[in-house]
């Protein structure tokens, strides 16, 4: 567990949450028991659920397994309260780890990101995760260019496996990314507790980011 508190906001991040962590939440927070249970079981589709004293979200982000050379859906569970952002993920997510450490080290970044509400901090986390997809897709584009060059250099047989790996990668990326848009849209369309109305324009911007990513994926799908 990693925790950070600044003024009236606190962020607690769990990696591979265990029973001791669950007990800690139960003993120290007035969080609906069903929301805490959501942190234990994996979800295969993103969702947002409003409870009496918190908001629960489960989103998925494309992560890359370097050993298997495959993209997979990494789950991030979020509990939002009036004063806390609680995040939980089973796989290490580099972007979250880096952002949390930056906030710990930098007073200026804490003032920038922790001055308002936990919802503002949640927006920053989701924005960072979506933005992290662009370099991954640029790398995919470079691999597409390389394969094309090799095919035209009469190395098509050697590229058969590379084409298969890349096709699987793009399809996995698409399956992970597409459902997230409906979750972000719900944050714009509905009035949830602990999300100020002025935040809707920020989440609308994330919808635009999702659309830009999807357009890149559509182009890459046509290319292979």
Report if pTM > 0.85.
yes
Q: Does 8 have pLDDT greater than 90?
A: no
Q: Does 158 have pLDDT greater than 80?
A: no
User: The domain containing residue 79 runs over which residues?
Assistant: 2-223
Q: Helix, strand, coil: what percent of the chain each, to 5?
A: 55, 20, 25
What proportion of the chain, given as a percentage, has pLDDT over 90? 60
pLDDT at 224: 58
Residue 88, judged by CB atoms within 10 A of its CB (0-12, 13-18, 19+), counts as: buried
pLDDT at 14: 95
Query: How many structural domains compose the chain?
Result: 1
Q: Does 41 have pLDDT greater than 90?
A: no
Strands 47-50 and 55-65: antiparallel
Q: Considering only 24-28, 101-105, 165-169, which range has the smallest mean pLDDT?
A: 165-169
pLDDT at 202: 95
* CATH number (domain holding residue 184): 3.30.460.20
């Amino acid at each position: 567990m990693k925790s950070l508190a600044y003024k009236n906001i606190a962020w607690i991040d769990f990696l591979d949450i265990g029973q001791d962590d669950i007990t800690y939440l139960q003993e120290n927070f007035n969080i609906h028991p069903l929301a805490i249970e959501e942190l234990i079981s994996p979800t295969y589709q993103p969702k947002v659920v409003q409870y009496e004293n918190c908001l629960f979200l489960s989103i998925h982000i494309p992560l890359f397994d370097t050993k298997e050379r495959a993209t997979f859906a990494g789950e991030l569970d979020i509990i939002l309260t009036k004063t806390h952002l609680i995040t939980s993920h089973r796989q290490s997510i580099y972007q979250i780890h880096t952002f949390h450490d930056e906030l710990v080290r930098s007073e200026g970044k804490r003032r920038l990101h922790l001055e308002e509400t936990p919802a503002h901090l949640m927006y920053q986390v989701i924005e960072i995760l979506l933005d992290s997809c662009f370099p991954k897709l640029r790398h995919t584009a470079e691999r597409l260019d390389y394969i094309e060059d090799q095919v035209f250099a009469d190395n098509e047989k050697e590229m058969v496996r590379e084409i298969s790996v890349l096709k699987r990668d793009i399809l996995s990326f698409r399956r992970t990314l597409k459902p997230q848009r409906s979750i972000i849209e719900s944050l714009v369309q509905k009035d949830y507790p602990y999300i100020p109305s002025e935040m809707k324009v920020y989440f609308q911007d994330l919808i635009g980011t999702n659309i830009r990513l999807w357009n890149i994926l559509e182009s890459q799908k046509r290319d292979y």
